Amino acid sequence: METIRKPRFGFWHGVLAVILIIVLAAIIAPMFFHARDKSQGSTRSRMAEYDEASASKSAPTEESPSWNTVSASTLPRMVISTADISVEVKDVKAVSSIIIETARAAGGFVTSSSISGESGSRTASITVRVPAKSYQSSLKKLSALGKVLSREEKGEDVTEEFVDLGSRLRNLRREEQAILGVLTKARRVTDILEVERELNRVRGEIEQAEGRSKYLANQVSLATINISLNEPEPAVTNAVIWNLGETASRSAHSLGVVFRGIASVAVWALVFVPLWLLIWLAGLGIKRFRSRSKSQPK
């Protein structure tokens, strides 16, 4: 009988199989990565088209401000200027009128004004807002109205916050457009309500950011000056005038104080009479005891 030999896989068969696997992987891998890159490229192209469309919609025109599309390095510094000044003047009421006219002449206005006290000791507190370009010149004029007692200037740089608000507004408007696109495709009532809630949230944040931007712009464009006015205290002359009645009254009062003191001492002495008696008897007894001791023969 002939024996049937079973095929055996030797060392070289294994090497050949490994080589075959490597070749197949080298052929299939580029095809896989190419397909994935193609799908990612199409996704990126769609996103780029959406960004370009959004940018073209939100791009500033000649009439609209362009601060929300630039960085802080390309913007002039946005500083909120505030000054506090205290001035001593001869006539508070007259100087208050001059301050109001100075603010109006600079293109500003008065936000608060108050005067208190009587003539010769009146004080006033006035707050004015003037354009930032007239801030230093107005402050110089106000300082020349009298004797400056104190002066403090402060500046708050809000450039970075202003730019951040612009970026936030741009992103919120893009989000708003995306939500509006989803809203047009929604069919179920629950989906529509959920999308509308999200839309209201985004629009609320847009209103807050726009309000903050307008507030900062207003604060930067107008500087605030707080002025405190006061009149010098009148000089007081201490004239010495002798008054007979007042002198007699003070003398009688002093005499009464002396008599009251003597009476108080007498009362205390009477109250402590028993104590004084005991002390005297004790001293007397000690004295007799000592005399007897000395008289006895040793």
Phi, psi (5° rounding) for residue 241? -125, 125
294 in any annotated domain: no
> What pLDDT, on a 0 to 100 scale, did the predictor assign at position 269?
74
The vertex-135 CA angle with 134 and 136, nearest 5°, equals 100
169 in any annotated domain: yes
> What pLDDT, on a 0 to 100 scale, did the predictor assign at position 162?
86
Beta strands in 158-194 (DSSP E): none
What is the DSSP code string of 32-91?
A: HHHHHHHHHHHHHHHHHHHHHHHHHHH---SSS--GGGS-GGGSPP-EEEEEEEEEE-S-
277 in any annotated domain: no
Residue 181: which domain range?
Answer: 77-234
Q: Rounded CA gap, 84 and 58, in Å?
A: 41
> What pLDDT, on a 0 to 100 scale, did the predictor assign at position 201?
92
The single residue listed with the structure tokens 């005038």 is: 241
267 in any annotated domain: no
Domain count of the chain?
Answer: 1
Kindly list the distances between the CA atom of residue 75 and the CA atoms of 133, 166, 222, 270, 295, in Å, as whole numbers in the listed order: 17, 12, 18, 95, 119
> What pLDDT, on a 0 to 100 scale, did the predictor assign at position 37?
52
Pairing of strands 109-116, 79-88: unpaired
92 in any annotated domain: yes
Structure tokens of 63? 């009439």
> What pLDDT, on a 0 to 100 scale, did the predictor assign at position 187?
85
Q: How many residues does the chain have?
A: 298
20 in any annotated domain: no
Amino acid type, 160: E
265 in any annotated domain: no
Q: Is the pTM of this model over 0.75?
A: no
Collect the ranges in the chain with pLDDT lower than 70: 1-20, 22-75, 120, 234-242, 294-298
Kindly list the distances between the CA atom of residue 36 and the CA atoms of 40, 50, 90, in Å, as whole numbers in the listed order: 6, 21, 85
Per the CB < 8 A criterion, the answer to whether 150 and 85 are in contact is yes
116 in any annotated domain: yes
